[in-house]
Chain A
Amino acid sequence: MPRMARWLVGLGALAVLGVFVFPLWRVTLEAPQYPEGIGMLIHVDGVSGVEEHDLDNINGLNHYIGMQRIEPEAIPELRLMPWIAGLIVISGLLVAWRGSRGLYVGWATVVLATLGAGVYDFWRWEYDYGHDLDPAAAIRIPGLSYQPPLFGSKQILNFVAHSYPAAGGWLLILAGTVFGLVLVYLLFAPSPQIVRTESARRATLASVATLLIGTTMLASCAGSGPRLLVLGSDECAQCRMMITDARFGGEVITRTGKVQVFDAVECLAAYVASADPALIRSVWVSNFAHPGEWIEASTARFIIGASIGSPMGRSLLALDAGVPAEAAQRRYGGRLIGWSEMLRAARSPAASGAANAATPAGY
């Protein structure tokens, strides 16, 4: 490794020490009632309020929408992360000291993948908090998720949530960038001094493979799944009505990755029943009990003739298969059916006729 690269890597590793001093991320909330702001800081080993009681106050506010309490003790990663960071620092210094190119390539690949996984994990927690809501909450807005952004600002009810790296996060980003640039330089810069040994080639191959796999994994997590319904804007692909209630919605993801949205299971079933199965990659229904959460249609359980009216009139709603049948029926009434029965019903002319008959005038 060139001398300069070794220095950079060593300094980068030292920069990671900053996470023990500074918070990684800062999520702040602004609302008319909180002109002074209220926020929390995510540290390598915990979560704290920007001001002493902010975390409690955020939890207090969140109880209205049924968000789980943010309890740092309940997040196991916070116990793991200091060790990982420490390991990165020590191993980084060793790698820089040894100066072995092959060793570095392998090390950097693992470190970058770890950082990527960390960001993904953070997003995953945000998704969880934003979607896994207590159905008994006082404020329930069907289809609205309260997930704060990973990076940026977002309006959530009366709050604007800002989420940006804090000093520790920036140091980590800086270190990651340095590691990445050195890695790219070592892999691709024409360098006569470097003798490409067999082991270096193997390491390169392994790291490229890891990166590819990692990227693919991340990509598959992030994309090609069902998306959130945009209430008041999305239009049902079947009946062309505006979608206003996410509890009953559905989505079809086509082979090409296009997402078709539906306002009700009736419409979704009608669309799927008449479509070429080869063009459909996956079918999703909204979890009635957790609006915003998607269930693969084939694994969902449906209630037909429920005590709650659905947009297309058949009182159809979808629930997670894990919900005990008796509990669901006691709560919602009606009859429990599966997806295949649903499709059969949609294909039968009687059913569609019935659905049409129950459609509001003007359809």
Chain B
Amino acid sequence: MSRMLTQGRAALTAVAVASAIVLAYACAPTGATRPNTALVGGDAAQAVYVAPGKHDEFYAFLSGGFNGQVGVYGLPSGRLLKLIPVFSQHAENGWGYNEETKAMLETSYGNVPWDDLHHTALSQTDGVDDGRWLFVNANNTPRIGRIDLTRMETDEIIEIPNAAGNHASPFITQNSEYVVAATRFSVPIPNRDVPISEYKQHFRGSISFVTADKPGKMRIAFQLLVPGFNYDLARAGKGPSNGWMFFTSYNSEQANTLLEANASRNDKDFVAAVNWKKAEQCVAAGKGVTMPTEYLHNVMDEFTRSARVIKETSVVTLETAACPGVMYFLPTPKSPHGADVDPTGEYIVAGGKLAAVIPVHSFSKMIAAIDKKDFEGEVEGIPVLRYSSVLAGEVKNPGLGPLHTEFDGKGNAYTSMFLSSEIVKWKLGTWEVVDRSPTFYSVGHLMIPGGGTAKPTGKYAIAMNKITKDRYLPTGPELAHSAQLYSIEGDKMKLLLDFPTLGEPHYANAIEASVIRDRQVRFFSLKDNRHPQVARTERETGISRTGKAVHVRMASLRSHFSPDNIEGAQVGDTVYFHVTNIEQDWDMPHGFAITGANTSEILIMPGETRTMKWVPTRAGIYPFYCTDFCSALHQEMQGYVRVSEAGSSVALRANSGRTGQNVDAAVAAAAAQLPKK
């Protein structure tokens, strides 16, 4: 076993770290006790000012954490551009409420209306963000989602079986072959009823490799079954280290209770290096075991714009023992969070959140150590490499609580320090700290556009802070989280801007606006709309009844619904309003809402069809209206549904337009027949 550290040293380190935490909190700012506008230069305003009508340089996609969504912000302005709903219902546009998108939130546990979205990963080509898709993970009910970046909509969600707490996810390989999903919570695999105290005996981790480069066809290629630790974060190798994926793990103690103490005993945990190309070979060679299980794969159809649920019933698992060389452990102090690979692919930086140093592993040394079998032990048959043999260097006295590191492509690394609430800049190779800048307060992840790729942009860094306190006008006990933008172009980091963020961003990606701006879809093509209830023109609208279900096929356009007078619905019916927005113009959505609906509104983009299910419970007249101010006559965009008692003889009918011959029209018609002057 590798974890052969003297208990005395471990205890001392624990005491030191604990004191540091106490001190950090004792000295936590209370507003005026600390100059909290530090480092803002006179030209900061100019650096972030994006003049009215001008565009930002970068799209930034910040995970929404416990809001289950992704926020799209512009950098450097920090302006919120859009909220993309993924794993949580979004009443604002009907995501997860309307009949077309409800199924996107289906899981093997039923419809799950919320999740905790932690990390983002842009698709990559040759180790560089290519702006096709954004992958995101659901931490609570393990899933991975794919957002299409031409529409900024979620197109696909795949559930991860044999997993709990999908935290080390969805980190991506350099050509988008795979996104990964590794368990934060180990559980019995397959899950079953066992005493929790028998953790070490039954609980295991799993690392899933999910194919990412075929939209609509995400698939769990294989699932590596690994020791029952907590797997935290990951990063794919690139360049020379392409083919490997590095995961941090903690709780190598395998504690199942009071982890804050019991999982912090060992003064080294591990970075797990997984050779996924080797795993592919083993699976191809039939070393995998097909395990029956159940999980769902939800795909948005491009043409009906409706979700389809595909039920999967098995997954290929791979035991590490069946595939020697697939995984190695790199001892790493202590309870590491980030495992970040530098742009060259040589260095793997681990953010040991309770460590006094930032350890940096060398990929080439790792390979050499593997070749020499320079192991100091093994865990469940997985070789543990010798720390000193794989270590490239340690950043000494970096600060407290190193979490996560990104790179600027100019030989510098930037590590977020949760406890000492700062960003620390240090040099790769010499491991010397060259600058530090406070964050307000307690930075979690940081992000440099492209900072995890082979080609960082090196212009800005943003800190995603966990604590906001006094940074904005106070808003009661619940505050928005706060992000901070720094310029990292010069030798010294410069704080430029604070901006509030939605939910709790755990990670983010940003990409030059030019890469995706011009690919943005402006509206959906009506002629490609293959929704079964589409009304491409007003003439295709109508109403029909099948038993107790009434289907209204409706068109909306400036500034009316067609039909807008509906009669013949009865108490006890379920009425489906299939509304097609027949506009073909940019930024011309229409909404639809009706009194008493037990669901959200539907918001319909031009060219698409959305369906609201409505169950009237009382006879009467119910108005419906357009909820998105569309035009000068938006307030006139309304209609009525007449609901009669069950069994009523009122005929089913739907109409719109003039009810009688209008004299104005008669006059005009007569005039039109005259010869022109």
Measured CB to CB, the residues of A under 8 A from B are 36, 52-53, 56-57, 60-61, 64, 128, 132, 134-136, 138-139, 287, 289-290, 293-296, 319-320, 322-324, 327-328, 330-331
Look across to chain B and name the residue whose beta carbon is closest to the beta carbon of A140. Answer: B664
What B residues does A136 contact at CB under 8 A? 662, 664-665, 668
Name 11 A/B residue pairs within 8 A (Cβ), A-sorted: A36-B586, A64-B558, A134-B668, A138-B636, A289-B667, A289-B668, A289-B671, A293-B677, A319-B667, A320-B671, A322-B671
Q: In the docked arrangement, what's the CA distance between A327 and B666, Å? A: 7
0/1 string, B112-150, CB within 8 A of A gives 1 = 000000000000000000000000000000000000000
What A residues does B583 contact at CB under 8 A? 57, 60
A327 touches B670 (CB 8 A): yes
- Of residues 579 through 620 on chain B, the ones whose CB sits less than 8 Å from some CB of chain A are 583-586
What B residues does A319 contact at CB under 8 A? 667
Q: In the docked arrangement, what's the CA distance between A138 and B583, Å? A: 19
What A residues does B584 contact at CB under 8 A? 52-53, 56-57
Q: In the docked arrangement, what's the CA distance between A64 and B636, Å? A: 13
> B663 at the A/B interface (Cβ < 8 Å)?
yes
What B residues does A128 contact at CB under 8 A? 676
Q: In the docked arrangement, what's the CA distance between A320 and B633, Å? A: 31
What A residues does B668 contact at CB under 8 A? 134-136, 289-290
Query: Nearest Cβ in chain B — how far from A340, in angstroms?
Result: 20
0/1 string, B424-440, CB within 8 A of A gives 1 = 00000000000000000
> B26 at the A/B interface (Cβ < 8 Å)?
no
What B residues does A295 contact at CB under 8 A? 677
Look across to chain A and name the residue whose beta carbon is closest to the beta carbon of B526. Answer: A53
Q: Give which listed residue, A56, A64, A296, A327, contacts B663 with CB less than 8 A.
A: A327
Q: In the docked arrangement, what's the CA distance between A287 and B674, Å? A: 13
> B179 at the A/B interface (Cβ < 8 Å)?
no
Look across to chain B and name the residue whose beta carbon is closest to the beta carbon of A63. Answer: B558
Q: In the docked arrangement, what's the CA distance between A61 and B667, Å? A: 23
Query: Nearest Cβ in chain B — how far from A88, in angstroms?
Result: 28
A60 touches B557 (CB 8 A): yes
B677 touches A290 (CB 8 A): no
A331 touches B633 (CB 8 A): no
What B residues does A56 contact at CB under 8 A? 584
Q: In the docked arrangement, what's the CA distance between A221 and B333, Å? A: 93
Q: Given A64-B633, A294-B677, A322-B673 in contact, is the A328-B585 Cβ separation under 8 Å?
A: no
What B residues does A323 contact at CB under 8 A? 667, 670-671
What B residues does A60 contact at CB under 8 A? 557-558, 583, 585
What A residues does B673 contact at CB under 8 A? 322
> B258 at the A/B interface (Cβ < 8 Å)?
no
0/1 string, B546-589, CB within 8 A of A gives 1 = 00000000000111000000000000000000000001111000
> B651 at the A/B interface (Cβ < 8 Å)?
no
What B residues does A52 contact at CB under 8 A? 584
> B5 at the A/B interface (Cβ < 8 Å)?
no
Q: Give which listed residue, A36, A320, A328, contacts B674 with CB less than 8 A.
A: A320
B585 touches A135 (CB 8 A): no
Q: Given A64-B633, A138-B633, A295-B677 in contact, is the A331-B667 Cβ separation under 8 Å?
A: yes
> B32 at the A/B interface (Cβ < 8 Å)?
no
Q: In the docked arrangement, what's the CA distance between A138 and B635, Å? A: 13
- Of residues 634 through 677 on chain B, the ones whose CB sits less than 8 Å from some CB of chain A are 636, 662-668, 670-674, 676-677
- Of residues 63 through 119 on chain B, the ones whose CB sits less than 8 Å from some CB of chain A are none
What B residues does A132 contact at CB under 8 A? 672
Q: In the docked arrangement, what's the CA distance between A294 and B677, Å? A: 8
Q: In the docked arrangement, what's the CA distance between A315 and B631, Å? A: 35
> B473 at the A/B interface (Cβ < 8 Å)?
no
Query: Nearest Cβ in chain A — how far from B177, in angstroms?
Result: 36
What B residues does A61 contact at CB under 8 A? 558
Query: Nearest Cβ in chain A — how far from B21, in angstroms?
Result: 53
Q: In the docked arrangement, what's the CA distance between A305 and B631, Å? A: 38
What A residues does B666 contact at CB under 8 A? 324, 327, 331
B663 touches A331 (CB 8 A): yes
> B632 at the A/B interface (Cβ < 8 Å)?
yes
Query: Nearest Cβ in chain B — how far from A95, in angstroms?
Result: 36
What A residues does B663 contact at CB under 8 A? 327, 330-331
What A residues does B633 contact at CB under 8 A? 64, 138
Look across to chain A and name the residue whose beta carbon is closest to the beta carbon of B667. Answer: A289
Query: Nearest Cβ in chain A — how far from B586, in angstroms?
Result: 7
Look across to chain B and name the residue whose beta carbon is closest to the beta carbon of A290. Answer: B671
